[in-house]
Protein backbone atom coordinates (compact mmCIF):
# COMPACT_ATOMS: atom_id res chain seq x y z
CA UNK A 1 0.00 0.00 0.00
CA UNK A 2 1.34 3.45 -0.95
CA UNK A 3 1.44 5.90 1.95
CA UNK A 4 1.01 9.59 1.25
CA UNK A 5 3.87 11.92 2.08
CA UNK A 6 2.01 14.69 3.89
CA UNK A 7 4.79 17.18 3.17
CA UNK A 8 4.48 16.43 -0.56
CA UNK A 9 1.19 14.58 -1.16
CA UNK A 10 1.70 14.52 -4.94
CA UNK A 11 4.78 12.35 -4.56
CA UNK A 12 4.46 8.71 -3.49
CA UNK A 13 6.33 8.06 -0.26
CA UNK A 14 9.32 5.82 -0.90
CA UNK A 15 10.79 3.70 1.92
CA UNK A 16 14.35 4.65 2.75
CA UNK A 17 17.04 1.99 2.49
CA UNK A 18 18.47 3.27 5.78
CA UNK A 19 15.17 3.19 7.66
CA UNK A 20 15.57 1.81 11.17
CA UNK A 21 13.81 -1.27 12.44
CA UNK A 22 10.96 -0.75 14.83
CA UNK A 23 11.86 -1.25 18.48
CA UNK A 24 9.11 -3.64 19.48
CA UNK A 25 9.90 -3.26 23.18
CA UNK A 26 9.44 0.51 23.04
CA UNK A 27 6.31 0.11 20.94
CA UNK A 28 4.74 -2.18 23.54
CA UNK A 29 5.58 0.31 26.25
CA UNK A 30 4.02 3.10 24.21
CA UNK A 31 0.81 1.10 23.86
CA UNK A 32 0.72 0.53 27.61
CA UNK A 33 1.12 4.22 28.26
CA UNK A 34 -1.54 5.04 25.72
CA UNK A 35 -4.02 2.69 27.39
CA UNK A 36 -3.43 4.32 30.75
CA UNK A 37 -3.91 7.78 29.22
CA UNK A 38 -7.13 6.72 27.53
CA UNK A 39 -8.46 5.33 30.82
CA UNK A 40 -7.75 8.62 32.54
CA UNK A 41 -9.49 10.57 29.75
CA UNK A 42 -12.48 8.24 29.88
CA UNK A 43 -12.77 8.72 33.65
CA UNK A 44 -12.75 12.48 33.18
CA UNK A 45 -15.49 12.27 30.56
CA UNK A 46 -17.62 10.06 32.80
CA UNK A 47 -17.22 12.43 35.72
CA UNK A 48 -18.58 15.32 33.65
CA UNK A 49 -21.47 13.38 32.10
CA UNK A 50 -23.97 15.68 33.77
CA UNK A 51 -22.85 18.53 31.48
CA UNK A 52 -25.44 17.98 28.73
CA UNK A 53 -27.18 20.17 26.18
CA UNK A 54 -30.83 20.34 25.23
CA UNK A 55 -31.85 18.69 21.93
CA UNK A 56 -32.07 20.97 18.89
CA UNK A 57 -35.60 21.92 17.91
CA UNK A 58 -35.89 22.61 14.15
CA UNK A 59 -38.36 25.45 14.78
CA UNK A 60 -35.70 27.31 16.77
CA UNK A 61 -33.41 27.58 13.74
CA UNK A 62 -33.07 30.86 11.85
CA UNK A 63 -31.24 31.88 8.69
CA UNK A 64 -29.26 34.50 10.65
CA UNK A 65 -29.15 35.36 14.35
CA UNK A 66 -30.07 31.79 15.30
CA UNK A 67 -29.17 30.40 18.71
CA UNK A 68 -29.21 26.66 17.91
CA UNK A 69 -26.16 24.47 17.38
CA UNK A 70 -24.73 25.28 13.94
CA UNK A 71 -22.94 21.93 13.89
CA UNK A 72 -26.14 19.85 13.94
CA UNK A 73 -27.58 19.34 10.47
CA UNK A 74 -30.90 17.66 11.23
CA UNK A 75 -33.70 18.06 12.02
CA UNK A 76 -34.06 20.44 9.06
CA UNK A 77 -35.94 23.69 9.19
CA UNK A 78 -35.01 24.46 5.58
CA UNK A 79 -35.23 21.11 3.74
CA UNK A 80 -35.23 23.01 0.43
CA UNK A 81 -31.62 24.07 1.14
CA UNK A 82 -30.60 20.43 1.48
CA UNK A 83 -32.38 19.70 -1.82
CA UNK A 84 -30.35 22.46 -3.47
CA UNK A 85 -27.19 20.73 -2.23
CA UNK A 86 -28.29 17.30 -3.48
CA UNK A 87 -29.25 18.70 -6.88
CA UNK A 88 -26.00 20.65 -7.18
CA UNK A 89 -24.06 17.42 -6.79
CA UNK A 90 -25.87 15.98 -9.83
CA UNK A 91 -24.36 18.82 -11.85
CA UNK A 92 -20.74 17.76 -11.55
CA UNK A 93 -18.42 18.56 -14.45
CA UNK A 94 -14.99 19.99 -15.19
CA UNK A 95 -13.74 22.08 -18.13
CA UNK A 96 -11.65 19.11 -19.22
CA UNK A 97 -14.88 17.31 -20.17
CA UNK A 98 -15.34 19.62 -23.17
CA UNK A 99 -13.40 19.40 -26.43
CA UNK A 100 -11.95 22.83 -27.25
CA UNK A 101 -10.03 21.97 -30.43
CA UNK A 102 -12.63 23.53 -32.74
CA UNK A 103 -12.60 26.73 -30.64
CA UNK A 104 -8.87 27.12 -31.24
CA UNK A 105 -9.46 26.90 -34.98
CA UNK A 106 -12.48 29.21 -34.86
CA UNK A 107 -10.67 31.92 -32.89
CA UNK A 108 -7.61 31.99 -35.12
CA UNK A 109 -9.29 31.43 -38.50
CA UNK A 110 -13.01 32.29 -38.37
CA UNK A 111 -13.74 35.04 -35.85
CA UNK A 112 -13.78 38.63 -37.07
CA UNK A 113 -11.88 41.27 -35.10
CA UNK A 114 -15.20 42.45 -33.65
CA UNK A 115 -16.05 38.92 -32.51
CA UNK A 116 -12.60 38.47 -30.97
CA UNK A 117 -13.12 41.74 -29.11
CA UNK A 118 -16.41 40.44 -27.68
CA UNK A 119 -14.99 37.01 -26.78
CA UNK A 120 -11.89 38.34 -25.04
CA UNK A 121 -13.67 41.01 -23.02
CA UNK A 122 -16.46 38.71 -21.89
CA UNK A 123 -13.80 36.33 -20.53
CA UNK A 124 -11.94 39.24 -18.97
CA UNK A 125 -15.04 40.34 -17.06
CA UNK A 126 -16.06 36.83 -16.02
CA UNK A 127 -12.64 35.81 -14.67
CA UNK A 128 -12.72 38.55 -12.05
CA UNK A 129 -16.43 38.28 -11.33
CA UNK A 130 -16.43 34.62 -10.35
CA UNK A 131 -13.54 35.15 -7.94
CA UNK A 132 -15.55 37.95 -6.37
CA UNK A 133 -18.55 35.62 -6.14
CA UNK A 134 -16.44 32.93 -4.49
CA UNK A 135 -15.06 35.37 -1.91
CA UNK A 136 -18.45 36.93 -1.20
CA UNK A 137 -20.14 33.61 -0.44
CA UNK A 138 -17.17 32.11 1.39
CA UNK A 139 -16.18 35.15 3.45
CA UNK A 140 -19.26 37.35 3.76
CA UNK A 141 -22.38 35.21 3.52
CA UNK A 142 -21.70 31.64 4.57
CA UNK A 143 -20.25 32.45 7.97
CA UNK A 144 -23.33 34.50 8.89
CA UNK A 145 -25.74 31.63 8.27
CA UNK A 146 -26.88 29.93 11.48
CA UNK A 147 -28.50 26.85 9.93
CA UNK A 148 -25.98 24.28 8.62
CA UNK A 149 -28.19 23.10 5.75
CA UNK A 150 -27.75 26.59 4.27
CA UNK A 151 -24.00 26.58 4.81
CA UNK A 152 -23.58 23.18 3.20
CA UNK A 153 -25.11 24.31 -0.09
CA UNK A 154 -23.06 27.52 0.05
CA UNK A 155 -19.90 25.46 0.54
CA UNK A 156 -20.78 23.72 -2.72
CA UNK A 157 -21.41 27.13 -4.27
CA UNK A 158 -17.90 28.28 -3.30
CA UNK A 159 -16.50 25.20 -5.02
CA UNK A 160 -18.56 25.86 -8.14
CA UNK A 161 -17.34 29.47 -8.37
CA UNK A 162 -13.78 28.14 -8.22
CA UNK A 163 -14.69 25.65 -10.98
CA UNK A 164 -16.04 28.50 -13.12
CA UNK A 165 -12.80 30.42 -12.66
CA UNK A 166 -10.88 27.34 -13.78
CA UNK A 167 -13.15 27.17 -16.84
CA UNK A 168 -12.34 30.72 -17.95
CA UNK A 169 -8.64 30.10 -17.32
CA UNK A 170 -8.86 26.88 -19.35
CA UNK A 171 -10.47 28.76 -22.27
CA UNK A 172 -7.88 31.56 -22.12
CA UNK A 173 -4.99 29.09 -21.94
CA UNK A 174 -6.33 26.74 -24.63
CA UNK A 175 -7.03 29.52 -27.12
CA UNK A 176 -3.55 30.93 -26.47
CA UNK A 177 -4.54 34.38 -25.25
CA UNK A 178 -2.07 36.53 -23.33
CA UNK A 179 -3.11 35.82 -19.74
CA UNK A 180 -1.68 38.92 -18.10
CA UNK A 181 -3.34 41.19 -20.65
CA UNK A 182 -6.76 39.47 -20.38
CA UNK A 183 -6.76 39.32 -16.60
CA UNK A 184 -5.73 42.97 -16.25
CA UNK A 185 -8.40 44.37 -18.54
CA UNK A 186 -10.84 44.83 -15.67
CA UNK A 187 -8.31 47.24 -14.14
CA UNK A 188 -7.62 49.29 -17.25
CA UNK A 189 -10.86 49.19 -19.26
CA UNK A 190 -13.30 51.66 -17.67
CA UNK A 191 -16.46 49.85 -18.83
CA UNK A 192 -15.34 46.57 -17.23
CA UNK A 193 -13.89 48.25 -14.17
CA UNK A 194 -17.17 50.12 -13.63
CA UNK A 195 -19.07 46.88 -13.04
CA UNK A 196 -16.35 45.45 -10.79
CA UNK A 197 -16.10 48.72 -8.83
CA UNK A 198 -19.86 48.84 -8.25
CA UNK A 199 -19.90 45.21 -7.13
CA UNK A 200 -17.04 45.89 -4.71
CA UNK A 201 -18.86 48.87 -3.26
CA UNK A 202 -22.07 46.87 -2.80
CA UNK A 203 -20.43 43.77 -1.36
CA UNK A 204 -17.33 44.96 0.48
CA UNK A 205 -19.28 46.41 3.41
CA UNK A 206 -20.52 42.96 4.45
CA UNK A 207 -17.06 41.40 4.21
CA UNK A 208 -16.05 43.15 7.42
CA UNK A 209 -15.87 40.95 10.51
CA UNK A 210 -17.46 43.52 12.83
CA UNK A 211 -20.88 43.61 11.11
CA UNK A 212 -23.60 42.81 13.67
CA UNK A 213 -26.79 41.38 12.20
CA UNK A 214 -28.66 42.05 15.46
CA UNK A 215 -28.22 45.72 14.67
CA UNK A 216 -31.06 46.76 12.34
CA UNK A 217 -28.90 49.03 10.20
CA UNK A 218 -26.28 46.31 9.70
CA UNK A 219 -28.98 43.74 9.00
CA UNK A 220 -30.62 45.91 6.33
CA UNK A 221 -27.21 46.59 4.79
CA UNK A 222 -26.56 42.83 4.66
CA UNK A 223 -29.95 42.14 3.05
CA UNK A 224 -29.37 44.86 0.44
CA UNK A 225 -25.95 43.40 -0.36
CA UNK A 226 -27.43 39.91 -0.66
CA UNK A 227 -30.18 41.18 -2.96
CA UNK A 228 -27.55 42.82 -5.14
CA UNK A 229 -25.44 39.67 -5.17
CA UNK A 230 -28.19 37.13 -5.87
CA UNK A 231 -30.57 39.29 -7.91
CA UNK A 232 -28.21 41.48 -9.94
CA UNK A 233 -24.63 40.21 -9.82
CA UNK A 234 -25.52 36.54 -10.38
CA UNK A 235 -29.12 36.83 -11.53
CA UNK A 236 -28.65 39.54 -14.19
CA UNK A 237 -25.00 40.32 -14.88
CA UNK A 238 -23.88 36.69 -15.15
CA UNK A 239 -26.95 35.72 -17.14
CA UNK A 240 -26.46 38.64 -19.51
CA UNK A 241 -22.71 38.15 -19.47
CA UNK A 242 -22.90 34.74 -21.16
CA UNK A 243 -25.28 35.73 -23.94
CA UNK A 244 -22.69 37.22 -26.37
CA UNK A 245 -20.85 33.87 -26.36
CA UNK A 246 -24.15 32.02 -26.79
CA UNK A 247 -24.76 34.22 -29.86
CA UNK A 248 -21.50 32.93 -31.34
CA UNK A 249 -22.31 29.35 -30.35
CA UNK A 250 -25.71 29.69 -32.02
CA UNK A 251 -23.91 30.36 -35.31
CA UNK A 252 -21.66 27.31 -34.85
CA UNK A 253 -18.67 29.27 -33.53
CA UNK A 254 -16.75 28.74 -30.25
CA UNK A 255 -19.01 25.81 -29.44
CA UNK A 256 -16.71 24.41 -26.73
CA UNK A 257 -16.69 27.69 -24.83
CA UNK A 258 -20.44 27.99 -25.31
CA UNK A 259 -20.98 24.50 -23.91
CA UNK A 260 -18.89 25.27 -20.85
CA UNK A 261 -20.89 28.45 -20.25
CA UNK A 262 -24.04 26.33 -20.48
CA UNK A 263 -22.73 24.25 -17.59
CA UNK A 264 -21.89 27.41 -15.68
CA UNK A 265 -25.32 28.84 -16.41
CA UNK A 266 -26.97 25.83 -14.77
CA UNK A 267 -24.93 26.48 -11.63
CA UNK A 268 -25.60 30.22 -11.62
CA UNK A 269 -29.34 29.79 -12.02
CA UNK A 270 -29.30 27.64 -8.89
CA UNK A 271 -27.11 30.16 -7.07
CA UNK A 272 -29.50 32.96 -7.95
CA UNK A 273 -32.60 30.98 -6.97
CA UNK A 274 -31.05 29.91 -3.67
CA UNK A 275 -29.89 33.43 -2.81
CA UNK A 276 -33.27 34.95 -3.57
CA UNK A 277 -35.00 32.35 -1.40
CA UNK A 278 -32.59 32.99 1.46
CA UNK A 279 -33.11 36.76 1.21
CA UNK A 280 -36.88 36.39 1.31
CA UNK A 281 -36.60 34.07 4.31
CA UNK A 282 -34.40 36.56 6.18
CA UNK A 283 -36.80 39.39 5.46
CA UNK A 284 -39.70 37.28 6.76
CA UNK A 285 -37.96 36.02 9.91
CA UNK A 286 -36.31 39.32 10.82
CA UNK A 287 -39.24 41.49 9.65
CA UNK A 288 -37.01 43.57 7.38
CA UNK A 289 -38.57 46.38 5.35
CA UNK A 290 -36.33 48.02 2.78
CA UNK A 291 -36.39 51.59 1.48
CA UNK A 292 -37.91 51.55 -2.05
CA UNK A 293 -35.67 54.47 -3.03
CA UNK A 294 -32.57 52.50 -2.06
CA UNK A 295 -33.79 49.54 -4.11
CA UNK A 296 -34.48 51.84 -7.07
CA UNK A 297 -31.01 53.36 -6.85
CA UNK A 298 -29.46 49.89 -6.82
CA UNK A 299 -31.24 48.91 -10.07
CA UNK A 300 -30.36 52.21 -11.74
CA UNK A 301 -26.66 51.91 -10.86
CA UNK A 302 -26.56 48.33 -12.13
CA UNK A 303 -28.31 49.34 -15.35
CA UNK A 304 -25.92 52.24 -15.97
CA UNK A 305 -22.90 49.97 -15.49
CA UNK A 306 -24.39 47.38 -17.86
CA UNK A 307 -25.15 50.04 -20.49
CA UNK A 308 -21.51 51.20 -20.49
CA UNK A 309 -20.30 47.60 -20.63
CA UNK A 310 -22.55 46.80 -23.60
CA UNK A 311 -21.42 49.92 -25.47
CA UNK A 312 -17.80 48.82 -25.03
CA UNK A 313 -17.90 45.12 -25.80
CA UNK A 314 -20.37 45.64 -28.67
CA UNK A 315 -19.19 49.01 -29.96
CA UNK A 316 -19.31 47.27 -33.33
CA UNK A 317 -22.23 44.81 -33.45
CA UNK A 318 -21.60 41.21 -34.39
CA UNK A 319 -23.85 39.11 -36.57
CA UNK A 320 -26.99 38.27 -34.58
CA UNK A 321 -26.17 40.41 -31.54
CA UNK A 322 -25.99 44.12 -30.73
CA UNK A 323 -25.46 46.46 -27.78
CA UNK A 324 -29.12 47.51 -27.82
CA UNK A 325 -30.27 43.90 -27.55
CA UNK A 326 -27.85 43.35 -24.68
CA UNK A 327 -29.15 46.41 -22.80
CA UNK A 328 -32.80 45.53 -23.35
CA UNK A 329 -32.21 41.97 -22.24
CA UNK A 330 -30.64 43.16 -18.98
CA UNK A 331 -33.75 45.19 -18.19
CA UNK A 332 -36.05 42.30 -19.08
CA UNK A 333 -34.14 39.93 -16.78
CA UNK A 334 -33.99 42.61 -14.05
CA UNK A 335 -37.79 42.74 -14.06
CA UNK A 336 -37.86 38.96 -13.76
CA UNK A 337 -35.54 38.99 -10.74
CA UNK A 338 -37.50 41.80 -9.09
CA UNK A 339 -40.67 39.75 -9.45
CA UNK A 340 -38.94 36.78 -7.80
CA UNK A 341 -37.86 39.06 -4.95
CA UNK A 342 -41.41 40.45 -4.69
CA UNK A 343 -40.13 43.91 -5.51
CA UNK A 344 -41.52 46.47 -7.94
CA UNK A 345 -40.37 46.05 -11.54
CA UNK A 346 -37.52 48.53 -12.13
CA UNK A 347 -37.97 48.74 -15.91
CA UNK A 348 -41.68 48.53 -16.85
CA UNK A 349 -42.24 47.60 -20.48
CA UNK A 350 -38.82 45.98 -21.05
CA UNK A 351 -39.16 43.24 -23.66
CA UNK A 352 -37.41 39.94 -24.23
CA UNK A 353 -34.86 41.02 -26.84
CA UNK A 354 -33.27 37.56 -27.08
CA UNK A 355 -36.17 35.17 -27.42
CA UNK A 356 -33.73 32.38 -28.28
CA UNK A 357 -31.64 32.75 -25.13
CA UNK A 358 -33.51 30.51 -22.69
CA UNK A 359 -33.40 27.62 -25.14
CA UNK A 360 -29.82 28.30 -26.18
CA UNK A 361 -28.66 28.42 -22.58
CA UNK A 362 -30.31 25.10 -21.70
CA UNK A 363 -28.17 21.99 -21.84
CA UNK A 364 -28.58 19.70 -24.81
CA UNK A 365 -27.59 16.06 -24.47
CA UNK A 366 -27.24 15.30 -28.18
CA UNK A 367 -23.48 14.84 -28.36
CA UNK A 368 -21.26 13.15 -30.91
CA UNK A 369 -19.35 10.62 -28.84
CA UNK A 370 -16.18 11.18 -30.85
CA UNK A 371 -16.27 14.95 -30.40
CA UNK A 372 -16.85 15.34 -26.69
CA UNK A 373 -17.39 13.38 -23.54
CA UNK A 374 -21.08 12.96 -22.80
CA UNK A 375 -21.90 14.62 -19.51
CA UNK A 376 -25.29 13.78 -18.06
CA UNK A 377 -25.75 17.09 -16.34
CA UNK A 378 -29.15 16.63 -14.75
CA UNK A 379 -32.48 15.00 -15.49
CA UNK A 380 -34.33 17.11 -18.05
CA UNK A 381 -32.84 19.24 -20.78
CA UNK A 382 -34.34 22.61 -20.10
CA UNK A 383 -34.35 25.07 -17.25
CA UNK A 384 -37.25 26.93 -15.71
CA UNK A 385 -35.66 30.37 -15.52
CA UNK A 386 -38.34 31.84 -13.27
Q: Residues annotated in the binding site, as ranges?
A: 130, 161, 164, 234, 268, 271
Secondary structure class of 41 (helix, strand, coil): helix
Which residues, 6+ apart, have CB-to-CB distance to 319 below 8 Å?
Answer: 251
Q: How far apart are CA 116 and CA 362, in angstroms?
A: 24
Catalytic status, residue 168: yes
To 10 degrees, the CA torsion angle through 245, 265, 136, 230?
110
CA separation (Å) from 355 to 115, 247, 270, 346? 21, 12, 21, 20
- What are residue 321's phi and psi, to 5 degrees? -160, 135
Reported as type and span, the H/E element at residue 80 is helix 79-88
Residue set of the binding site for Fe cation? 130, 161, 164, 234, 268, 271
Q: How far apart are CA 333 and CA 337, in angstroms?
A: 6
CA separation (Å) from 101 to 71, 127, 167, 205? 46, 21, 15, 43
To 10 degrees, the CA torsion angle through 43, 47, 53, 55?
60
- What are residue 337's phi and psi, to 5 degrees? -65, -40
Point out the catalytic residue in the list 107, 168, 226, 312.
Answer: 168
Active site members: 168
Amino acid sequence: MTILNWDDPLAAAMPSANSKKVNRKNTAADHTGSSESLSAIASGVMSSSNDCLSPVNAEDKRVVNGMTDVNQLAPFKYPWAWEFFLNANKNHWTPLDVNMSQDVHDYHHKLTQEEKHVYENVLSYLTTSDIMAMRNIGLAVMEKMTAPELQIYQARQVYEEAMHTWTYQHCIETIGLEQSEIYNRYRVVPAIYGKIKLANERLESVLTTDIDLRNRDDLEQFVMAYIFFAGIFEGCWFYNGFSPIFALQRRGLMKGTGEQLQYIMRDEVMHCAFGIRVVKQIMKEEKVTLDPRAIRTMWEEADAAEQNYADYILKDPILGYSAEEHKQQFRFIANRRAKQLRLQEPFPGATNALSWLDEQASMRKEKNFFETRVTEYQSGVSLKWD
